Amino acid sequence: MKYFLCILLLLANATALLAQRSHRMPPRSNGELYIPNVSATIKPGDTILLSGKYKIINLNEVNGTAEKPIVIYAWHPVTVGVGASNYGIMVQGRYWKFLGAGHTTVYNPDYTLNVLFNAGNSRFFSIDSVSLRNGQVGIFALPADSATHGDVRITNCSIAQIKGARTAGKSQAIHIGATNVALADTVGYRSVQIAHCSLSGIDGVGIQVVGTRTTLIEDVRIDSFGRAALPFQNSGIVVGPHVALQLQQSHISTGTGPAVSIFSAGVQRIAQCVFMQTATAADQDAVYIEQKQSKDAVANITLTDVQINGANRYGVHNVLAKPVRLIRVQISKAGKAKTFGPVVLAK
């Protein structure tokens, strides 16, 4: 009955989308879908319908409104990226939703894609139910200017086989925010939500968020990360400066570096998570905390109901002067000690 109701709901949503003003967008003869100014013909509230095989999808000026976002919807199975280089999908604008409907795949078997899904400097956007694999970066978004650059939602996505981490470059399944951390106090999103996603086979970082004032990561699974074992490119989740994190009900396993690395002031909450067989490389910790302190804030970090099983060095390594609070945290198989640095233990 549950699955029957889900099918009915999907059909109802598809019918509602098709009832709106819709635009079918088949690939051109060269396999590309490139529209430099979507807003010239497609208005807020419209739906862009995708179907079939595309070499690339490049949509610019996709500008809806808060009340009437532009919806990009895979109404039939969609494959993007075969034969392409640099990127598979690029969408830039504001107030748009990309609905992959569970049958949208972005990949290139030759690993020629630098970014599988590039949201550029978009703001107020969401990406749902897309499968991405065989690239250097899975999903990338780089806000252009203000500290309240909008909201981001990434849900129900699968990202795998992210390769190409190197000393002079980066490899991440998801990167949201400034690439130059020095800009994090002025450049960032207002909020980010990453939920119900699966990330695996990553040379570098699973998720990196920088400069986002409110970040919620929930029900996310990250397996086999940091495979290139490079410094600062080996964590399951990296929390950059000026991020307030809430990480909950997630499972992070099998990585050379920390399950979570925190480099931010402000409130950080980790709850109901399992970190298994992480920090396997030399001198690596399952949870590493080194605040990059802002001018007017200090870190306030709590781990609650967290299981940590395995770390080459410490289960929780705190470099802060202020203690980290651990509530019902179980740490086992830590190489040197369960914790290092100021820590307050509570049952």
Task: Please state whether beta strands 260-262 and 237-239 pair in parallel, antiparallel, or not at all (unpaired).
Answer: parallel
pLDDT tens-digit map of 240-274? 887 889 999 999 999 999 999 998 878 899 999 99
Buried b or exposed e, range 41-78, using 16+ CB within 10 angstroms: ebeeebbbbbeeebbbbbbbebbbeeeebbbbbbbeeb
Residue with tokens 């945290």: 329
- pLDDT bucket at 296, cuts 50 / 70 / 90: low
Question: 181 in helix, strand or coil?
Answer: helix
pLDDT tens-digit map of 105-150? 999 999 999 999 999 999 999 999 999 999 999 999 988 765 456 8
| 231 phi/psi in degrees, rounded to 5 | -55, 135
The top-level CATH class assigned to 2-346 is mainly beta
Q: What is the pLDDT of residue 144?
A: 74
Q: Indicate if the pLDDT at residue 327 is higher than 70.
A: yes
Across the range 295-307, mean pLDDT stands at 82
pLDDT tens-digit map of 185-220? 666 788 999 999 999 999 999 999 988 878 999 999
Q: What is the pLDDT of residue 238?
A: 94
- pLDDT bucket at 2, cuts 50 / 70 / 90: very low
Task: Retrieve residue 119's tokens.
Answer: 């949201």
Q: Please, are residues 205 and 164 in contact by the beta-carbon 8 Å criterion?
A: no
**Could you give the CA distance from residue 142 to residue 316 in angstroms, rounded to a whole number?**
30
Task: Retrieve residue 188's tokens.
Answer: 């960032």
**Could you give the CA distance from residue 202 to residue 188 in angstroms, rounded to a whole number?**
25
Q: What is the pLDDT of residue 321?
A: 75
Q: What is the pLDDT of residue 147?
A: 47
Q: Which residues are paired to 199 by β-bridges? A: 159, 222
Q: Indicate if the pLDDT at residue 341 is higher than 70.
A: yes
Average pLDDT for the chain:
89
Residue ranges of domains in the chain: 2-346
